[in-house]
Structure formats: structure tokens, C-alpha cells
Amino acid sequence: MKKRILTALAATIAQGAFATDITVSAAASLTDAFGDIAKAYQAKYPDAKIDLNFAGSGALLQQISKGAPVDVFASAYTVTMDKAADYIDPATRQNFVENRLVVIMPKDAKWDGKDLAALLDDKALKRIAIAHVENVPVGRYTKGALEKAGLWDKLGERNLPTQNVRQSLDYVARGEADAGFVYATDAAIMPDKVKIVLEVPLDKPLVYPIAVLKNSKAADESKRFVAFVTGADGQKILQGYGFSAPAAAK
């Protein structure tokens, strides 16, 4: 009897070491997937609570650098995670999904272009939504692809800057932009309002890294959450939203 009581007590203490609130700052393109992951995680670990904070990866890094109480950082850009090196536990950093960059238009748009050159040559496309290129990964990827194709300077005043990829998606969905550069996973959540007209070629895979912050006050819980995201349950949810496994896991 005494042994059983001690075993139960040890299990309770171990559970208590994890059970706590953690804040997860994640790229805007992860909004829906991480919403479901948080629900699944909390269902599996009822004593845990996940607070989600979404924005462009660059904006999230700025928050972290200013002392925001963040436990886990999930970025849509490896360079942004590189810049977060002073704030993350390097042993916990890993790539967990990949995505694709696409061009979308309103569902009823009539366009039969074949490439980026045709997109920029079409004068009827007066507003093209592109997330800020300074601190939003999808904007950086977009600018890089257009520069490589020699087309960035053609945008001119047609460039409609947005705060993040979800705002670009919303502008196109509402008809406030004639086209927009977003991730394939974002386009997939509004199939009744937008359509993909092009997939943008990139030199390297569009990889998302995740890591636990050095100053996390709940490191054990944070590591367990990351393990959930990268494990079978989390990956099933992510792939359900159109993300793919990172190259090393394929």
C-alpha cells in the first residue's frame, strides 16, 4: 500500500512539473493549425494551458527581443530564427514543416497567365498584396523570387503592403487586391473565395523552425509542447492544413 501511494505521489509531482501555462509565439500562417494543435495538446494534457500569439515572424522576434514573456517561438523563416539565436535554447531548435509560396486571385478572376512575368505585365492587376518585405517572411520570399526574375522593379505603386500573410489573404478574398502572394496553406483555408493561379519557384525549401526560449519559466512544458508539434499527433494536424514534413523527416 505504501509503495502504491509513493508511486502515485511521484506521478503527481512529475505531472506538476509540466502542468503550467506557456505562451507560444507563432507565425501568422500557423494560426489555424496551431489553434487545433493547442486544443489537441490540452486535451491530452488537461492541466496544461497554451496561450497563442500570432504575427509576422519578424514582429514576433521584436517582441521577444523587448522582453515579451514567450516560451516557444515558431517562425516561418529560418533567417529569423537565426537572428533569435541569443534568445533560444539551441538544443531545442528544429525544422518542423515546409510550405509553398503561391499567387492567389479572387475566385471569380479571369486570368490565364503562365508565370510571374505575365503577372507583372498584366496592367489590369492594379493592386498586388505583398506582406512587408522587411520583417515578414512571405514578403522576403516574394521579393527574392521577383528580384531573381528581374521583376521586382516592375511592381511600382501596384505593391499593396500588408502586415502579414493573413492580411494579404483577406485583401484578395474581399476583392481589395487583384492578386496576392501567400503560402499555399493560407490559400487552402478560403477555397470558396480565392484560387491559386501560380506556384512561385524558390531556390530553397520554405522551412519553418521551432525552438524553446532560454528564459522560459516553463522549460519542461515548452519542450513537451515542441515534442507534440514535431510528433505524430502534431504533424497529422499540420499536414491536414497542407503543410508538409521537413526534408529530413520525409
Residue set of the binding site for molybdate = 29, 57, 165, 183
- Tens-place pLDDT, residues 68-127: 999 999 999 999 999 999 999 999 999 999 999 999 999 999 999 999 999 999 999 999
User: Which pLDDT score is estimated for 204?
Assistant: 87
- CATH code for the structural domain at 101-199: 3.40.190.10
Alpha helices for the chain (secondary structure H): 2-18, 31-44, 57-65, 78-83, 116-121, 137-148, 165-173, 184-187, 219-230, 232-240
Q: What is the DSSP string of 131-151?
A: E-TTT-HHHHHHHHHHHHTT-
Residue set of the binding site = 29, 57, 165, 183
Q: How confident is the model at residue 15 (pLDDT cuts 50, 70, 90)?
A: very low
- Tens-place pLDDT, residues 180-207: 999 999 999 999 999 999 999 998 889 9
pTM, full prediction: 0.84
Phi, psi of 13 (to 5 degrees): -65, -40
Give the separation between CA 133 and CA 208, rounded to whole angstroms: 17
Cβ-Cβ contacts under 8 Å for 175 (sequence gap 6 or more): 106
Cβ atoms of 112 and 197 closer than 8 Å: no
Element (H, E) at 54: strand 49-55
Residues of the chain within CATH 3.40.190.10 domain(s) are: 21-98+207-241, 101-199
User: Which pLDDT score is estimated for 19?
Assistant: 61
Architecture of the domain spanning 21-98+207-241: 3-Layer(aba) Sandwich (3.40)
